[in-house]
Amino acid sequence: MAETGDTAPSAGELRPLASIAPKEIFAELQRGVLGQDTALRYVAVAIFKHVTGKVPGNILLIGNSGTGKTTIMNNIQRLYQTFPEYRPFRSMTIINANLLVDSDRMEFRPDRLLTAAEQRARSVLGRDPTVEDLKAAMERATVCIDEIDKMSSVVAGKPNAIGVVLQQGLLTLMEGETVAYKTYAFVDGEEREVTLDIDTGGMMFICGGAFEGLYDQVYLRVAKPGSGEKLKSHAIRTADGDVRIEERFTLGDFLKDEDLFTYGMVPQFLARFDNIVLLDELSVDVLKEILLKAFDSPYQRSRRYFEVLDIELEIEDLAAALIAEQAQKHTRTGARALRTIFGKIINRLEYDPWRSDALEELEEGKHRLVVTAGLVRSKLGL
Ligand SMILES: Nc1ncnc2c1ncn2[C@@H]1O[C@H](COP(=O)(O)OP(=O)(O)O)[C@@H](O)[C@H]1O
Ligand SMILES: [Mg+2]
């Protein structure tokens, strides 16, 4: 992850926020999120609007497990940390939806979200911020709420009251509400309890969820005789490089707001999102890219581990392709499968690289370790 960047450069070095175009934001996000360009474009525009003081576009991210929802949220945070211009916007929080409700009391708990935003704000503002600075930083927060689908109003066909509580609470926050928030701050040189009236109207909200079952639900609606829907043609690239036109069901072609209502999203809550964005499935090519390039990929992590031992870790292109191919077979875990599979290959080498045949000596004490296709095949029994 990037350094915290808490050393403030002098104002002269900072570019005006309006000069950092969505394209540049997109490019920075893309360093950590691969194969989700459509979603990243929406996110980049929303961030641009947010930091330039326009009404931000709240976004709902829908994508299967392991396709990058949480990764997108983490990379927004990384973006804010990386660009010194975004220092005022670093009070960002990523929180699981279920933490925002108290299920015993059936109560929405916005304070938990605000506490997280406050902690981030304080770490950016340094010691003893003024009440005004603290309030302003919190009001500019970017709020990412993960696993929002788990707070559906219907779970396994039964009403889920706690989900309704959460969605009602959140929709009011997203509309812009003033929340009385108690904390401690320095007033006239003295620390005391203060109540901050936090106006949530300037916050940006990004929610994400896998919405398991939504795909089947919509497919069944579309496939039902007399639904009046017709599958659309898609260009499909085959393994040998040909392009074939096929009629195929994709969620993106058919998803309507009504489907999400049926799923258990409260209509007024859904209406708070300016964009509902579907993440793409990850192809073998994208999985390979993720393995090789995403800085949080298991391969990149392992490289950093071996660097400590003065060993340069490399991977053959074919080896990476084989791993990606195996990962794609685990459709339920998406890119998460890369970690498990790569782990099987690298674990013994990380444990004791020194006796491996794969280790080559370079000059003075430096070594190189190459993950070959042969090694991958033998470890995975292919
Ligand atoms: N589009 C992507 N780009 C880069 N890495 C990804 C992507 N999707 C998933 N990953 C990797 O796979 C793992 C799981 O991804 P995550 O974002 O947590 O999935 P989810 O969509 O379930 O939130 C993470 O470790 C991440 O590094
Ligand atoms: Mg996730």
Last residue of a domain, one of 278, 301, 323: 278
pLDDT of 231 reads 85
Q: Does the residue 274 lie in any domain?
A: yes
Question: Ligand 2 centroid vs 301 CA: distance in angstroms?
Answer: 19
Percent of the chain with pLDDT over 90: 75
Q: How far is the CA of 86 from the centre of ligand 1 (A)?
A: 24
Which ligand 1 atom is at minimum distance from the Cα of 32? 4
pLDDT of residue 357: 83
pLDDT of residue 352: 92
> Would you state the pLDDT for residue 5?
46
* 126 and 214 in a common domain: yes
Domain count, the chain: 2
Say whether 286 sits in a helix, a strand or coil: helix
Q: pTM for the full model?
A: 0.90
- Ligand 1 atom closest to the Cα of residue 72 is 17
250 and 360 inside one domain? no
Do the domain assignments include residue 226? no
111: in domain: yes
Residue 350 has pLDDT above 80, yes or no: yes
Q: Quick check: is 270 in a domain?
A: yes
**Do 328 and 260 sit in the same domain of this protein?**
no
Residue 73 Cα: closest atom of ligand 1: 17
Atom number in ligand 1 closest to CA 333: 22
- 11 pLDDT more than 70: no
Asked if residue 268 and residue 251 are part of one domain, the reply reads yes
Examine the domain organization and report whether 369 and 336 are in the same domain: yes
What is the domain range of residue 302? 284-380
> Are 137 and 255 part of one and the same domain?
yes
What is the band of 36 on the pLDDT scale with cuts at 50, 70, 90? very high
Within a domain: 224 = no
Last residue of a domain, one of 232, 255, 278: 278
338 vs 237: which has the higher pLDDT = 338
B/e letters for 216-247, b = 16+ CB within 10 Å, e = fewer, are ebbeeebeeeeeeeeeeeeeeeeeeeeeeeee
Q: What is the mean pLDDT of the chain?
A: 91
State the pLDDT at residue 7. Answer: 52
- The predicted-structure confidence for 265-319, as pLDDT tens digits, reads as follows 999 999 999 999 999 999 999 999 999 998 889 999 999 999 999 999 999 999 9
CATH number at residue 254: 3.40.50.300
Whether residues 198 and 296 fall in one domain: no
How much is the average pLDDT of 342-369? 90
Closest CA to 135 of 122, 149, 152: 122
146 CA → ligand 2 middle, Å = 7
Strand partners, 237: 243
**Binding site membership of 207 for ligand 1 (Cβ less than 6 Å):** no
Q: Is 33 in the pocket of ligand 1 (CB under 6 A)?
A: yes
Residues 335-361 have a mean pLDDT of 92
Residue 248 vs residues 213, 239, 244, 265: alpha-carbon distances, Å = 18, 17, 11, 26
Q: Is 35 in the pocket of ligand 1 (CB under 6 A)?
A: yes
* Residue to mutate, 26, 61, 71, ligand 1, most ligand atoms under 8 Å from C-beta: 71
Question: 260 and 302 share a domain?
Answer: no
Torsions phi, psi for 380 (to 5 deg): -100, 0
pLDDT of residue 2: 44
Residue 132, domain member (yes or no): yes
Does residue 32 have a pLDDT over 60? Answer: yes
The answer to whether the CB of 334 is under 6 A from ligand 1 is yes
**Per-residue pLDDT tens for 109-164?**
999 999 999 999 999 998 888 899 999 999 999 999 999 999 999 988 899 999 99
Query: Within this chain, do residues 319 and 213 fall inside the same structural domain, yes or no?
Result: no
Tokens matching residue 33? 């999120």
Q: Is residue 6 part of a domain?
A: no
| Gap from CA of 72 to ligand 2 centroid (Å) | 9
Q: Which of 261, 278, 295 is the last residue of a domain?
A: 278
264: Cβ below 6 Å to ligand 1? no
Tokens 């990004």 map to which residue? 206
**70 CB near ligand 1 (under 6 Å):** yes
pLDDT number for residue 282: 93
Closest C-alpha to 148, from 99, 79, 202: 99
Question: Please, are residues 148 and 247 in contact by the beta-carbon 8 Å criterion?
Answer: no
Protein residue closest via CA to atom 26 of ligand 1: 71
Do 158 and 268 belong together in one domain? yes
Tens of pLDDT, residues 209-219: 999 999 999 99
- Residue 237 in any domain: the answer is no
Can you spell out the DSSP letters for 259-283? HHHHHT--HHHHTT-SEEEEPPPPP
pLDDT of residue 9: 53
Residue 3: predicted pLDDT: 45
Shortest-distance atom of ligand 1 to CA 338: 12
Could you read off the pLDDT of 71-99 as tens digits, one per residue? 999 999 999 999 999 999 999 999 999 99
Task: Taking residues 332-355, report their average pLDDT.
Answer: 92
287 in contact with ligand 1, CB cutoff 6 A: no
> Residue 263 pLDDT > 70, yes or no?
yes
Task: Tokens for 378, please give them.
Answer: 């033998």
Co-location of 135 and 271 in the same domain:
yes
List the CATH number of the domain containing 345: 1.10.8.60
Q: Are residues 250 and 344 both part of a single domain?
A: no
Quick one: average pLDDT of 234-253? 81
pLDDT average, residue stretch 363-374: 91
Residue 18: which of 63, 44, 41, 49 has the closest Cα?
49
pLDDT band at 4 (very low <50, low <70, confident <90, very high): very low
